C-alpha cells in the first residue's frame, strides 16, 4: 500500500505534484470543452451561419426569350439583365411557390404572398424578398444550358 509522507513523496517514488499537475491539465481541458459546448448555441443565438457549400444544378436547355424553366428549388427566368434563378421557397413559412404566367408573378399557394420574377416581395404576409442564386451559362457560341448554384 502506498503511503504519503509530509513532503508529498510516496514510497514508490511518485510525488503528489504529479497528481496535482494531472488534475490541473484535466481541469484546463474541461474548461476548453465547456467553452466550445457553449460557443455553438451562442453563435446560433447571434445568428452566425457558417457559409454553406452551394449545390450545383445543371439545366440542360436554353431559355426562350422572356421564358422560364421550373426546377425543384428555383425558377429560372430570362430577363433583360440576363438569366435570374429565384428560389421557390416562400420567405413566410416555406411553402413552395408557383409561377403564374398570366399575372407574371410567383404566388404562394399557402397564404398568397406575391413576388416578382426578380424575387421582390410585392404583397402578402411574407416580409422578405426571395433569395436569388448565381447562374452561369453553358455552351460555347450559343447558350445550351445553365449551372445554378443553389444555397
Site for ligand FES in 62-121 (CB under 6 A): 90, 92-93, 95, 108, 110-111, 113
User: Is 131 one of the binding residues for ligand FES (CB under 6 A)?
Assistant: no
- The DSSP element (H or E) to which 35 belongs, if any, is helix 16-45
Indicate the residue among 124 and 145 with the shorter CB distance to ligand FES: 124
CA distances from 94 to 68, 69, 99, 123, 149 (A): 22, 20, 15, 16, 19
Could you give the string, one character per residue 26-45, with x where binding to ligand FES holds by CB under 6 A and - elsewhere? --------------------
Length of the chain: 151
User: Is 125 one of the binding residues for ligand FES (CB under 6 A)?
Assistant: yes
Number of residues that bind ligand FES (CB under 6 A): 11
3-state secondary structure of 135: strand
Kindly list the residues in this chain that would bind ligand FES in the complex (CB under 6 A): 90, 92-93, 95, 108, 110-111, 113, 124-126
Amino acid at each position: 500500500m502506498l503511503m504519503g509522507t509530509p513532503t508529498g513523496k510516496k514510497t514508490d517514488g511518485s510525488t503528489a505534484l504529479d497528481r496535482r499537475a494531472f488534475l490541473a491539465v484535466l481541469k484546463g481541458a474541461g474548461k476548453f470543452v465547456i467553452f466550445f459546448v457553449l460557443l455553438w448555441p451562442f453563435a446560433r443565438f447571434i445568428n452566425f451561419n457558417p457559409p454553406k457549400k452551394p449545390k450545383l444544378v445543371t439545366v440542360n436547355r436554353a431559355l426562350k426569350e422572356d421564358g422560364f424553366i421550373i426546377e425543384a428549388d428555383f425558377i429560372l427566368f430570362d430577363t433583360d439583365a440576363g438569366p435570374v434563378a429565384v428560389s421557390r421557397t416562400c420567405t413566410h413559412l416555406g411553402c413552395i411557390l408557383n409561377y403564374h404566367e398570366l399575372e407574371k408573378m410567383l404566388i404562394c399557394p399557402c397564404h398568397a404572398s406575391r413576388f416578382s420574377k426578380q424575387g421582390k416581395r410585392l404583397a402578402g404576409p411574407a416580409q422578405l424578398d426571395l433569395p436569388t442564386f448565381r447562374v452561369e451559362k453553358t455552351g460555347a457560341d450559343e447558350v445550351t444550358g445553365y449551372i445554378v448554384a443553389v444555397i
